[in-house]
């Protein structure tokens, strides 16, 4: 009798413990969605806060400087009594550095992706891809010193008229820096193409090169173009390389051998300078940052549109 009573007590305790565990699990299950929503809300609120800060401070800048003068002016002299705030020299430097970078990153990145996806063996891919991605882990300030102390002297041996600080050298190094981004995203897009398409083309008598250029690349074109657009966004927003190697000359010129300043380099200069809070120079920082934000936002929208518009479903 004692054993039966003990067994009943033990079973009752087990049932009670099970109910308590189930209650705790149910409570946690209900709490998890709210916790995840709070985390997602933080990221959204952070973005909204950044936009509101940039927008509010930019409005204060345009109270002193006409918006048309800012976006069409070719002279940027933020210091002195007769200060002039024209953003075209900064846009010019940013666009040139980005174009030079993409001339480097696009062909090398795509060719690397083609090799990794279509020609490399598994053993070579396991070694080469992580080695390539090491480039993405190098701090940008190291790239900046590399551009200033190695690439620029090397280029000056071939281009005697090249300035010690110029837009050509950092543009080339930015291109090297974003090669892993273009190569990795393009390789992922190519690898997602079904092998049945490759085998069908080979079965019809196509060569490996014809399969690559006429089947694989067209089928993965949306992912490849999206990698280009994201690479452009990365090049536009690059800071340390251009700050170190392109100089701070606010020249509105089309000569890539001369010193130019980009939007990001100007932001670093003003932030690290003696711009008094509340001055027009101080608020120009936010106007340039807002312009840069709009640039990168547009590029991201373009990348999303291209991915959705030309995506192939297999």
Segment 103-121, tens digit of pLDDT:
999 999 999 988 888 888 8
Q: Minimal CA–CA distance to 246: which of 267, 272, 265?
A: 265
Q: Which residues of the chain have pLDDT under 50?
A: 1-4, 6
Q: In a 10 Å sphere around its CB, with 0-12 CB exposed, 13-18 middle and 19+ buried, how is residue 161 labelled? A: exposed
Q: What is the pTM of this model?
A: 0.81
Buried b (16+ CB within 10 A) or exposed e, 23-34: eeeeeeeeeeee
Q: How far apart are CA 263 and CA 188, in angstroms?
A: 32
Q: Residues 153, 188: contact at Cβ < 8 Å? A: no
Tell me the β-bridge partners of 85: 76
Intra-chain end-to-end CA distance of the chain, in Å: 69
- Report DSSP state, residue 187: H
CB atoms within 10 A of CB 205: 7
Place of tokens 């480039």: 135
Helix residue ranges per DSSP H, 117-220: 122-137, 140-146, 152-158, 168-191, 195-203, 208-211, 217-219
pLDDT value for 15: 59
Q: What is the pLDDT of residue 170?
A: 92
Q: In Å, how far are 73, 76, 157, 162 from 296, measured between CA atoms?
A: 22, 22, 35, 30
Q: What contacts 77, CB < 8 A, 6 or more positions away? A: 83, 84, 250
Here the tokens at position 294 are 């709009």
Give the sign of the dihedral formed by CA 244, CA 247, CA 253, CA 257. negative
Question: CA 18, CA 6: separation in Å to the nearest integer?
Answer: 18
Segment 217-239, tens digit of pLDDT? 888 888 888 888 888 888 888 88
What secondary structure does DSSP assign to 221-280, as a single string?
HHHHHHHHHHHHHHHHT--HHHHHHS-S-----S-TTS----HHHHHHHHHHTT--TTSH
Instruction: State the Cα–Cα distance between residues 100 and 174, nearest whole angstrom.
Output: 8
């Amino acid at each position: 009798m004692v054993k039966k009573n003990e067994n009943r007590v033990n079973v009752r305790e087990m049932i009670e413990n099970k109910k308590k565990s189930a209650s705790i699990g149910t409570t946690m299950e209900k709490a998890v969605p709210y916790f995840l929503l709070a985390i997602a809300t933080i990221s959204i609120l952070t973005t909204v806060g950044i936009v509101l800060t940039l927008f509010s401070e930019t409005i204060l800048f345009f109270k002193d400087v006409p918006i048309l003068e800012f976006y069409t002016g070719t002279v940027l002299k933020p210091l002195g009594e007769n200060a002039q705030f024209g953003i075209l020299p900064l846009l010019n430097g940013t666009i040139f550095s980005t174009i030079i970078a993409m001339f480097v990153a696009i062909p090398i990145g795509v060719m690397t992706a083609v090799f990794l996806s279509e020609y490399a063996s598994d053993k070579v891919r396991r070694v080469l891809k992580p080695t390539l991605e090491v480039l993405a882990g190098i701090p940008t300030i190291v790239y900046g010193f590399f551009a200033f102390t190695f690439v620029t002297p090397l280029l000056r041996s071939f281009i005697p008229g090249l300035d010690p600080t110029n837009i050509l050298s950092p543009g080339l190094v930015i291109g090297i820096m974003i090669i892993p981004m273009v190569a990795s995203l393009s390789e992922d897009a190519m690898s997602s193409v079904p092998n049945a398409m490759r085998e069908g083309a080979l079965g019809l008598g196509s060569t490996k090169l014809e399969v690559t250029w006429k089947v694989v690349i067209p089928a993965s074109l949306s992912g490849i173009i999206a990698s280009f657009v994201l690479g452009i966004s990365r090049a536009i927003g690059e800071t340390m390389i251009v700050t170190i190697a392109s100089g701070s000359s606010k020249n509105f010129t089309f000569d890539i051998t001369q010193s130019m300043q980009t939007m990001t380099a100007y932001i670093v200069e003003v932030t690290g300078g003696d711009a008094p809070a509340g001055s027009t120079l101080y608020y120009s920082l936010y106007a340039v940052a807002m312009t840069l934000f709009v640039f990168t936002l547009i590029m991201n929208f373009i990348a999303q549109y291209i991915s959705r518009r030309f995506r192939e479903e297999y």
